[in-house]
Structure 1
């Protein structure tokens, strides 16, 4: 029997043993005064009393009494340790003041939504089926063991399966769970006690994670503070990065990753995988010299099982492809397929994956990429052959990116044996971990947005066979943290240079004022809007020469640039968000829908108003919403404009904020979710500066790309 097969075969039995050993009855002072608490209930009742529970009176706990929903809510919130004070009001009108905090917290945590939008059902008796859902959601329980109960429908299936897998319940008899039966106070005490005891004897692992920081070092000192706070209570927590440290701010343009690296070394990262932007400099005269220096100077290892550096001589001393670094190996400043870390005496396998799309959206040069699914399966097998059954994939694939290339959801579905995926690339804000149960074992996916706005924290428990039994995750908002003085000191020489750089000329003079005034870019065509979208289109064409048009949201243009010498500070003030390029495959009908949304609130100053290139359209702001756009002409790629064909497809460039549905562009969101968006990742201000430098002179004009016919009548 293989290690993986043995792992699966023993999972349920091992959990049963673990739970049974955790609930050996013990005498207690708390239950001594309750005359109705037998030995079977002593530990459970003691546990609830320690969490603030009271009996029905001084001598009776009420073991055989039904429990109301409101009282069940209070007990569960107490056991889970939920914040019952700083939480949004649930809106329920039937919850007594004593329980409001608990009910609010349960709703905010997604554990219960009440009987209706206004009624919680406080005085209703709660059923075993409802309690099963509360306990499963509250403790984030997973379980795959089949149960024998005939009365469990689809609503309760997942919850009952989880409780049965962990021996929290045996049902009311051999064939019925008792979904509609009312819960007794004694049974509820045992449910909560057993669920809370599941971690006893389990291996607990904490993982801090970052991704897509993109040289946003203005948040680094706050990130360091948060890391230190976590380590104060969880000193063995791992710290992992899922790639794209490179590209995005002047810190990278000037220091090419070395400023970021000095901070990461100080923070003591455990491992990092490569993002596509780590390869952005590959086509430069020095090739991947900056990346090779980044790797060489790191006080941590790099992992990526599907990236082959062997044909690039710059990595000849650092690339250890095809190998897994053992615990005692010299790993700092080297690249492995995976590494083994020891945490509290347990071995944890960590491997990396990088999107194959890097070949088309960056400049990897001689660096080659292989299929992520195949390599992931090899890594799982390799770790399990070494007896390691706790496996983390650190990936730069994207949570839900175009499946034609790769994404984390597909990885979790297609590759069994990965316990945790720490992801990046799509800048997804996963405020809670996502659990995928497509295979024999569950996989937990996390991702922490972008630009070091958050530090992700995942706490996960494994049973003795390496199967995830419990998990809890959060994103720590770094904006609320104080700066770590040590990091500020590390960054000071870098920051001083950046401050001077912001005053530096880009070597281009604007012949005319570039109009980025809020009242204009959000209501009509402007020469700056034309200039920005022309640059976006020019860059997109170098990636996909079939790109014929470009859009950018007026809300992303934040200031004008006066005629004369243009500085980097001017550019960054105008385009401060660091948005990246996306190329959409749209039908003519979808373009029309997008333009209707663009002018929906015209002539109000709406940030969704699109500036355009490669396209001309007219609209009538007096007409009803959805009927404003009159004509649309699009470039044929040869300098001519032709009427748009609603059934034809067109490649259109935009920024990924808009492509993902920002500014309520639902049409673009659908296209993104349909996998019809490529994300080359070029940063907006970099594209703009490069385009300006290529022009013979900067003299953009308003050309009649956008015309409100009502203004001329």
Structure 2
């Protein structure tokens, strides 16, 4: 009898403990670290405000030691932008992110800059998937370097991550880089993928490169508004800093700025198969002063830089002033660096004018010596320089297009040489440009002018469709080579803001 009583007591205790463990197991915490638009800003940099991958790696590793469930995601524009990436066409970035145990990446428009063949090679060498559910081929063939989604399990909780690439990629990389590809409507794709994932996972994450810019046709806010069932959108493309996330309907949207200035993370609690709590945070570079750089990442970066140094350290000239290529300036108005680049293009052909897109200028240059590496960083896209013949009417149409999204910081904003124009930023797009002069004379809409541009714009990139059919008069080498030649011939350079572009 005593044994029976003891057995019942023991059985009751075991049952209570089992139920307790079951209840505890139903509540799972997950932390998701995220970055976007790093543009290969691998190293800590005071000038750009970059934290760098080595400090990010330390923070993520510490979290993985302290927590059971940690994920790391990248929302695109990753493989291209700085010399450390461009010289080896993204291989160095793939290697570093592998060492950081990246779980997945969605493709940004600039991730196509080395072409589809190279993107396939990067996918082969990377131990993480490239996600882009809305990407397909015109011929119906499977794309070998992308997947629609990834499913990972954490303490019994299944997390589905699907990717969306911006349809703007068709004109925000060189058109040749996306030949044969179709970027489907992200809203339609998201609805379809979420319907598929809902029966398979507990948490749905959209890893998107869409942005929240007013100048974009498709945005992550649109996805959140029109597609139910997404718990979290990790976004990129528009470079916004969303400090504590942004709730749209029942979906949290997060974005971590640009250039590795921030490391974002989202803490989720999943209870009985549903997200019961979600909180977004950003770690700014300023808060990482005491964080030690991860030894392995630092060592790899050092070795890559040492191999590249033979090329990048060559001095091509000097500048007597700081050359302003900051994103917020180069995409909304005239800057001295924009003038210098456009002047170099015009001088190369002795053209009437030059027009280049602000989005193709990616960095500033400090006063003093200018190295080849700095020029490559400013002009990282490998564009060639082209001379075309353009009517005055098409020049005005190009300028109208260039300021159509102002004051949004869009890459289509023009930097010019040989041209002076005024525009009204409050007027309706298409009717903003007021006066235009070419070489000091009022623009004649019927006259033909020689205009230097880059091959990206000539092919209709950034929406400059009026350039696509213009006759090509001549071609030169790479835009970075044209700029280096001009700097060398005119050093020390000291360009100024001269009133070429005036918003009234």
Into which bin does the TM-score normalised by the smaller protein fall? 0.5 to 0.7
2:81–2:380 contact (8 Å) kept in structure 1 = no
Q: 1:391 maps to which residue?
A: 204
**Counterpart pick for 2:442 among 615, 629, 642:** 642
Residue 356 in structure 1 maps to residue 184 in structure 2: no
Residue 449 in structure 1 maps to residue 257 in structure 2: yes
Displacement of 1:226 = 0.9
2:123–2:130 contact (8 Å) kept in structure 1 = yes
Displacement of 1:690 = 4.7
Q: 1:337 maps to which residue?
A: 148
Where does 1:648-687 land on structure 2 (aligned, <5 Å)? none
1:583–1:678 contact (8 Å) kept in structure 2 = no
C-alpha distance in 1 between matches for 2:243 and 2:484: 41
- Indicate the SS of the match to 2:81: coil
C-alpha distance in 2 between matches for 1:548 and 1:504: 26
Q: 1:471 maps to which residue?
A: 278
- Indicate the SS of the match to 1:706: coil
Q: Give the alignment's Cα RMSD to 1 decimal.
A: 4.8
C-alpha distance in 2 between matches for 1:345 and 1:290: 37
Q: 2:32 maps to which residue?
A: 207
1:210–1:454 contact (8 Å) kept in structure 2 = yes
Residue 413 in structure 1 maps to residue 225 in structure 2: yes
Q: 1:238 maps to which residue?
A: 71
1:211–1:424 contact (8 Å) kept in structure 2 = yes
**Counterpart pick for 1:226 among 59, 65, 85:** 59
- Indicate the SS of the match to 2:126: coil
Give the 3 Å change call, closer, same or farther, for CA 537–212 of structure 1 in structure 2: farther
Displacement of 1:705 = 8.3
Aligned length: 391
Structure number with greater CO (CA < 8 Å, separation at least 6) is: 2
C-alpha distance in 2 between matches for 1:616 and 1:583: 10
**Counterpart pick for 2:41 among 212, 216, 224:** 216
C-alpha distance in 1 between matches for 2:306 and 2:359: 36
Displacement of 1:208 = 0.8
**Counterpart pick for 1:367 among 163, 181, 202:** 181
Give TM-score scaled by structure 1 length: 0.47
C-alpha distance in 2 between matches for 1:583 and 1:611: 10
Q: Deviations over 1:93-125 (max 9, x none)?
A: xxxxxxxxxxxxxxxxxxxxxxxxxxxxxxxxx
C-alpha distance in 2 between matches for 1:370 and 1:528: 36
1:447–1:456 contact (8 Å) kept in structure 2 = yes
Q: 1:18 maps to which residue?
A: none
Give the 3 Å change call, closer, same or farther, for CA 560–515 of structure 1 in structure 2: same
More strand per residue = 2
Residue 494 in structure 1 maps to residue 322 in structure 2: no
Alignment gaps of 5+ in structure 2: 1-23, 44-51, 348-352, 382-397, 408-413, 423-433, 445-452, 454-460, 465-476
Q: 1:532 maps to which residue?
A: 341
Displacement of 1:583 = 8.9
- Indicate the SS of the match to 1:430: coil
Q: 2:108 maps to which residue?
A: 275
C-alpha distance in 2 between matches for 1:503 and 1:350: 41
Displacement of 1:515 = 4.7
Bigger CA radius of gyration: 1
Give the 3 Å change call, closer, same or farther, for CA 350–200 of structure 1 in structure 2: same
Displacement of 1:302 = 2.1
Displacement of 1:368 = 2.4
Displacement of 1:493 = 2.1
Where does 1:273-672 land on structure 2 (aligned, <5 Å)? 273-282=106-115, 288-308=116-136, 318-319=144-145, 335-362=146-173, 363-386=177-200, 388-400=201-213, 402-404=215-217, 406-437=218-249, 442-464=250-272, 466=274, 468-478=275-285, 479-480=288-289, 481-504=291-314, 515-516=320-321, 530-534=339-343, 556=364, 558-559=366-367, 567-569=371-373, 571=375, 585=401, 613-616=417-420, 634-635=436-437, 641-642=441-442
